[in-house]
């Protein structure tokens, strides 16, 4: 079992998404999804023709208070001659004018939960829109695909028990009455499924335990991705880190039997010579705290301390599959943080690649140590933007709770772009200040800087620490410590690892216009240019 998982490190929801023109009522499927808006008898989007035939049923459910169309509400029904599908599933979208992509992802995710329970193999759904909020048909279709696929996700690679003999969903058909929309919808479905696949890769990586998702195995996966997608992958070993002087990264790895890796994955979709976007992801495959050992309660959750690195790998996979016209390089400093006779100790001083020295007051503040060297190294490629993403501080949960990613940066345009991408994906960010007085908290008596900043403003002092290692490079930092793991399921996210950051980074990259169009690729495939994001005027 373990070796199976090791060779894969990824599970897959495999559902064929297709678009067809026709009438919803006569579409054959095991289940037909019917979107409804609160307080309206007219059904939205391509469900509209069913408004009349379904009116008695809807009125009845409304009267009993069983189904009002409130967001994320579900209700099963018999088709009773209204539709050819075997069952109907009503799904609420709330008020029509308030519908966003996130509303749709959540409704589809909720529906996916029900679909999974019923063991349905083929569903049909109308295109939710146009006419919902400000959404274009393609935005609606993309959100539908993402919500459905992400809502179907389960991590069960290690369950050997036979599963209940239910069928799982293999096919989903989008039905639209407007033939001209077909290519747009099909393109949006494909886009959405690439995005969902990436987020699920990030979830898988976080969910795999640390005995499987080791630095070496993650490096192996990066090499596999590179081979599949024609990317360049380089893995730096400990000897090279030492030769270069990355003693902060090497210092964290000292307690572990697993060799550290600095994994680099490069996708070139932009012009040759165009500065890349550098993405640095914290990849601590397990964080015990080191000699500053963590308490044992909930320590198992520290297998997800590589969620930043997972988001970076996932985003690069998606960038390549979407053929985005950008150059991107991912950097994953990967190691365990373990206590042992060889582990670094509180009070140790390490020299970094940048030349600055760090006093390690607390070995549990290890993320910023490995990022210090990785950021300095990444800055050497002279990126247009430098972004790091990390499960960095417990303080992030205290400050922002579990619904916002902490955001700190030195480049207002970059920060603004990350905010926008967060709004669009539902992976929202909230900016914190990087003011000068915070730097006083990380002054060391004996070295250039110390790795902890005391009790107050932990997200910010961690960000201030990182900023010392990026030089003049326009940089932003994303703290996903409080959003990478949830204890209560959400509409399209089961409890456990969320894969947060993957969709945010993909959306950010897809909004980059770079210096121009990518050149036509050489080689056999004439269609190998960048994928155009499907967008209809309305």
Residue 287 engages Zn ion in binding (rule: CB under 5 A) = yes
Residue 441 contacts residue 408 (beta carbons within 8 Å): no
Q: Among 102, 146, 266, 287, which residue sits at the site for ligand BES (rule: CB under 6 A)?
A: 287
Q: Are the C-beta atoms of residues 142 and 191 closer than 8 Å to each other?
A: yes
Q: Which of residues 367-406 bind ligand BES (CB under 6 A)?
A: 367, 391-395
Q: Report how far residue 158's alpha carbon sits from residue 163's, in angstroms, rounded to the nearest whole number.
A: 12
CB proximity list for 423: less than 8 A, separation 6 or greater: none
- Of the pair 92, 458, the CB lying nearest ligand BES is at 458
* 321 belongs to the catalytic site: no
Interface with Zn ion in residues 267-286 (CB under 5 A): 284
Q: Which does 394 bind (CB under 5 to 8 A by kind): Mn ion, Zn ion, ligand BES, none?
A: ligand BES
Cα first-last separation, the chain: 49
364 binds ligand BES (CB under 6 A): yes
- Identify whether 294 is a catalytic site residue: yes
Residue 498 sits at φ, ψ, to 5 deg, of: -95, -20
Q: How far apart are CA 138 and CA 127, in angstroms?
A: 9
In the complex, the smallest distance separating the C-beta of residue 366 from Zn ion, rounded to whole angstroms, is 6
Output the residue with the shortest Cβ distance to ligand BES.
394
Number of residues that bind Mn ion (CB under 5 A): 3
Residues 297-326: x/- map of binding to Zn ion (CB under 5 A)?
--------x---------------------
Burial of 264 by CB count in 10 Å (0-12 exposed, 13-18 middle, 19+ buried)? buried
| Exposure class string for 90-108: b at 16+ Cβ within 10 A, else e | bbbbbebeebbbbbbbbbb
Among Zn ion, ligand BES, Mn ion, none, what does residue 24 contact (CB within 5–8 Å per kind)? none
Does residue 362 bind ligand BES (CB under 6 A)?
A: yes
Which helix (H) or strand (E) element contains residue 376?
helix 367-379
Rounded to the nearest whole angstrom, what is the least distance from the CB of residue 367 to Zn ion in the complex? 4
* Smaller CB separation from Mn ion, 287 or 373: 287
147 binds ligand BES (CB under 6 A): no
Q: Does 364 bind Mn ion (CB under 5 A)?
A: yes
Instruction: Give the Cα separation of 144 and 137 in Å (integer).
Output: 10
Q: Token digits for 261?
A: 């890796």
204 counts as binding Zn ion under rule CB under 5 A: no
What is the helix, strand, coil percentage profile of the chain, to 5?
A: 40, 20, 45
* Residue 359 or 366 having the CB closest to Mn ion: 366
Within 8 A by CB and 6+ apart from 329, the residues are 264, 265, 266, 267, 276, 277, 278, 279, 378, 381, 383
Map residues 431-460 to x or -, x wherever contact with ligand BES holds by CB under 6 A: ---------------------x-----x--
**Coil/strand/helix, residue 265:** strand
Q: Does 291 help bind ligand BES (rule: CB under 6 A)?
A: no
Give the span between the Cα atoms of 371 and 263, in whole angstroms. 13
Q: At its nearest, how many Å lie between ligand BES and the CB of residue 291?
A: 12
The one segment of 191-199, 359-367, 404-412, 463-471 that binds ligand BES by CB under 6 A: 359-367
Binding-residue total with ligand BES (CB under 6 A): 15
Interacting residues toward ligand BES by CB under 6 A: 287, 305, 362, 364-367, 391-395, 452, 458, 481
Interacting residues toward Mn ion by CB under 5 A: 287, 364, 366
Catalytic positions: 294, 368
């Amino acid at each position: 079992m373990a070796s199976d998982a090791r060779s894969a490190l990824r599970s897959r929801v495999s559902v064929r998404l297709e678009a067809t023109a026709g009438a919803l009522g006569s579409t054959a499927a095991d289940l037909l999804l019917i979107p409804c808006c609160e307080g309206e008898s007219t059904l939205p989007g391509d469900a509209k023709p069913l408004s009349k035939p379904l009116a008695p049923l809807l009125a009845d459910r409304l009267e009993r208070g069983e189904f009002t169309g409130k967001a994320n509400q579900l209700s099963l029904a018999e088709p009773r001659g209204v539709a050819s599908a075997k069952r109907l599933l009503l799904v609420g979208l709330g008020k029509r004018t308030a519908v966003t992509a996130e509303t749709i992802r959540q409704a589809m995710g909720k529906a996916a939960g029900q679909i999974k329970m019923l063991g349905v193999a083929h569903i049909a759904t109308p295109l939710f829109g146009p006419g919902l909020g400000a959404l274009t048909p393609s935005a609606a279709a993309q959100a539908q695909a993402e919500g459905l696929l992400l809502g179907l996700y389960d991590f069960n690679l290690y369950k050997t028990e036979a599963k209940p003999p239910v069928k799982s969903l293999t096919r989903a058909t989008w039905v639209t009455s407007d033939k001209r929309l077909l290519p747009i919808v099909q393109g949006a479905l494909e886009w959405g499924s690439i995005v969902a696949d990436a987020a699920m890769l990030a979830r898988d990586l976080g969910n795999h335990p640390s005995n499987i998702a080791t630095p070496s195995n993650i490096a192996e996966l990066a090499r596999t991705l590179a081979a599949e997608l024609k990317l360049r992958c380089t893995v730096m070993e400990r000897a090279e880190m030492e030769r270069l002087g990355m003693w902060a990264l090497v210092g964290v790895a000292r307690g572990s039997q697993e060799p550290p890796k600095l994994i680099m994955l490069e996708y070139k979709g932009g012009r040759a010579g165009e500065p890349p976007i550098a993405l640095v992801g914290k990849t601590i495959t397990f964080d015990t705290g080191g000699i500053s050992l963590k308490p044992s309660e909930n320590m198992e959750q520290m297998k997800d301390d590589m969620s930043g690195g997972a988001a970076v790998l996932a985003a690069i996979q998606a960038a390549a599959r979407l053929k985005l016209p950008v150059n991107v390089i991912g950097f994953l400093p990967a190691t365990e943080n373990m206590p042992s006779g060889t582990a670094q100790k509180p009070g140790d001083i390490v020299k970094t690649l940048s030349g600055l020295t760090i006093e390690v007051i607390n070995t549990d503040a290890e993320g910023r140590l490995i990022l210090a060297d990785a950021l300095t190294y990444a800055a050497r490629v002279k990126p247009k933007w430098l972004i790091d993403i990390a499960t960095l501080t417990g303080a992030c949960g205290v400050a922002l709770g579990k619904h916002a990613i902490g955001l700190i940066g030195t480049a207002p345009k970059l920060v603004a772009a990350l905010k926008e991408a967060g709004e669009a994906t539902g992976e929202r960010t909230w900016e914190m200040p990087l003011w000068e007085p915070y730097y006083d908290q990380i002054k060391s008596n004996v070295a250039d800087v110390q790795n902890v900043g005391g009790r107050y403003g932990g997200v910010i002092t961690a960000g201030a620490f990182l900023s010392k290692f990026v030089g003049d490079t326009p940089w932003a930092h994303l703290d996903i410590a409080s959003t990478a793991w949830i204890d209560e399921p959400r509409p399209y996210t089961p409890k456990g690892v969320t894969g947060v950051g993957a969709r945010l980074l993909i959306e950010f990259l897809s909004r980059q216009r770079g210096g121009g169009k990518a050149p036509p690729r050489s080689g056999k495939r004439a269609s190998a240019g960048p994928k155009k994001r499907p967008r209809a005027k309305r």
